[in-house]
Amino acid sequence: MATISAATVKQLREKTGAGIMDCKEALSECNGDISKAVDFLRKKGLATAAKRAGRATTEGIIESYIHMDSKLGVLVEINCETDFVAKNDDFKEVAKNIAMHIAATNPVSIRPEDVPKETVDKEKEIYRGQVLEMGKPEKIVDKIVEGKLKKYFKENCLMNQAYVRDPDITIEDLLNEMVAKIGENITIKRFARFKIGEV
């Protein structure tokens, strides 16, 4: 059994924001390996997030981000369960970072199921045309189209996007980590992105 030093625990805490006891447990489960401990905490966070997913989020904040040249701005509503968490600095920081992420990536919707049906149908039609143009056999066309649609959702739906500040995780992972850290359900309710000259 590896002896876990306080410095290693501190390092893991800084990386993940998890509590001391959680970090100690993760490190002892992973023989002091920090990167494995990060994964261990992520999985634990996902389990916590899943448990809390059904809980009502009626509190929260509306966060804004205005880009330096004042030609691009974002408003995002992020909800939590209590006013206490809504005033928490970590919660506010995550909200700010999500607003900045939206400014950078211009998502179409929050989740794949929020993408309008006509947009999905149009994308499928384009992909089908591309695949048939490549001369692929009809029987695998649908499979390729589905794969392309999955990629479209990954790139254009906020929860599926790779987080701009840490591309190894998605926005959904970021929220799940926050849920595990603060112990409340968190949801992104809506956002609006404004850019000068765009309708």
Q: Domain segments of the chain: what residues?
A: 6-52, 59-110+157-195, 116-155
- Higher pLDDT: 62 or 19? It is 62
* Domain range 116-155, CATH architecture: Orthogonal Bundle (1.10)
Q: Name the pLDDT band for 94 (thresholds 50, 70, 90).
A: very high
List the CATH code of the domain at 59-110+157-195.
Answer: 3.30.479.20
Burial of 143 (0-12, 13-18, 19+ CB in 10 A): exposed
Given a cut of 80, whether residue 160 has pLDDT beyond it is: yes
Q: Name the pLDDT band for 35 (thresholds 50, 70, 90).
A: confident
Given a cut of 70, whether residue 151 has pLDDT beyond it is: yes
CATH class of this structure's domain 6-52: mainly alpha
DSSP alpha helix (H) spans, the chain: 6-16, 20-29, 34-52, 83-86, 89-105, 117-133, 138-156, 171-182
Indicate the pTM of the whole model. Answer: 0.69
Residue 20 has a pLDDT of: 77
Given a cut of 60, whether residue 82 has pLDDT beyond it is: yes
C-alpha of 61 from chain center? 17
